[in-house]
Amino acid sequence: MSGYLKGFECLVCSEFCPADYEGYLCPACGGNLDAVYDYDEIKKELSVGILKSNANRNMWRYKPLFPIETLSSVPPLEMTMSPLYRYVGLEKDTGLSKVYIKDDTRMPSGSFKDRASSVVMAVAREKKVTTVSCASTGNAGSSWACMGAACGMEVVIFVPASAPRAKIAQLRVYGARIELVDGNYDLAYDLSIADSKKTGSFNRCTGYNPYTREGKKSVSYEIWEDLGYKAPGSVFVPAGDGNIISGVWKGFRDLLALGLIEKMPVLFASQSKRSDAITRMIESAEGDLEKLKVSSVSATTIADSISVDTPRDGYAAARAVIETGGQGVRVADEKIIESIWEIASRIGVFAEPAAATSVAALKEAVKSGIEIPTPAVCLITGNGLKDVDAVL
């Protein structure tokens, strides 16, 4: 583990666990754990000046903020910083002054999930495990299998049989052992956890393994750098199980703790109307964390990557939105598909349905009269080639 990792704190009850804790969830209440770092020591190794002098344009430039001991443990695949594009067409549509998209379609396996998989795989290698597993609607599994192949790991993936063909194809070519589930993501998730408890495999499931958030937070550092070492006004994040938005929140909290930003950006959970558990949680809490409870829905959205009945990192995601003054924004699946076509035809980025939800949500927020601080950034979290049937 990183010398700067002090331990883990439960996001629900604040129970503290030491850095060498081998569990996944809080031993007191079962809540999600959040890594705690020694920021005073990190400040000595990470500053604007140090970053400006670092020619390595990849996520490992932020190594002091990751829970790993050495860069020799990271997968050999290149995790280059993804592009931040100005979206002038969307600015004209909405009247907002500055709108950007963060293009993670070009990650090694084609999705944002590689940020988490690369860090979690590094942790797995330092723990000297040989078998890793997870549940996925496709992207997390593809990413985990990709990193596993690069590191010579045995990978077991539980995936709904209804997942897009391209994503299952990725799992096959990367050599993963695939357990097709006759059910939805939530069932695959439960089966994966049960299997890892039985076999001892290192499980990557989001909202379960605390290290996933530590990889996903890297997107916040990159946005901050690309905006001239300044935080954006707001970030629109596709939300299903909630782990990406909790990661974005964690990244900006790191920067705030290091004195590198003055305030947090406003976070918006971008959801399909057909998979809106996190938005319901936010609305039910009415701004009071004491009222915040994980809720469930029967998800039926075309956006498979965010089609979740019970959000496993929902508490952290909803808390992130509430504490930053954001909202959950629901959009119709038809608007998600429209956004895929618009993003591709206007700026040349082909987004899968879940990824396009961020842009659809920004447009819906403007239409609804919600105040959106700028610059606004929409995360494009997966490549459209993973689900071409959505636009055929």
Q: In this predicted model, what pLDDT tens digit does every residue of 225-238 receive, in sequence order?
A: 999 999 999 999 99
Q: Torsions phi, psi of 156, nearest 5? A: -120, 125
Cβ atoms of residues 329 and 365 within 8 Å = yes
Query: CA–CA separation, 15 vs 371, rounded Å?
Result: 36
Task: Say what the pLDDT of residue 345 is.
Answer: 98
Q: Which of 320, 309, 352 has its CA nearest to residue 138?
A: 352
- Percent of the chain exceeding pLDDT 70 equals 99
d(Cα 242, Cα 370) in Å, to the nearest integer?
Answer: 21
Average pLDDT, the chain: 97
pTM greater than 0.95 (yes/no): yes
Give the pLDDT band (50/70/90) at residue 66: very high
> Rounded to whole angstroms, what are the CA distances from 62 to 4, 47, 115, 219, 381?
12, 10, 12, 11, 20
Question: Confidence band (pLDDT; 50, 70, 90) for 138?
Answer: confident
Give the 3-state secondary structure of residue 135. Answer: strand
- Give me the domains of the chain, ranges plus CATH numbers: 84-111+212-391 (3.40.50.1100), 113-209 (3.40.50.1100)
Q: Distance between terminal CA atoms of the chain?
A: 46
Q: Do residues 305 and 143 make contact, with C-beta atoms less than 8 angstroms apart?
A: no
* pLDDT value of residue 9: 99
Which residue in 229, 169, 206, 176 sits closest to 47, CA to CA?
229
Mean pLDDT, residues 102-123 taken together: 98
Q: pLDDT tens, 198-246? A: 999 999 999 999 999 999 999 999 999 999 999 999 999 999 999 999 9
Cβ atoms of residues 268 and 371 within 8 Å: no
Which residue, 278, 274, 273, is CA-closest to 310? 278
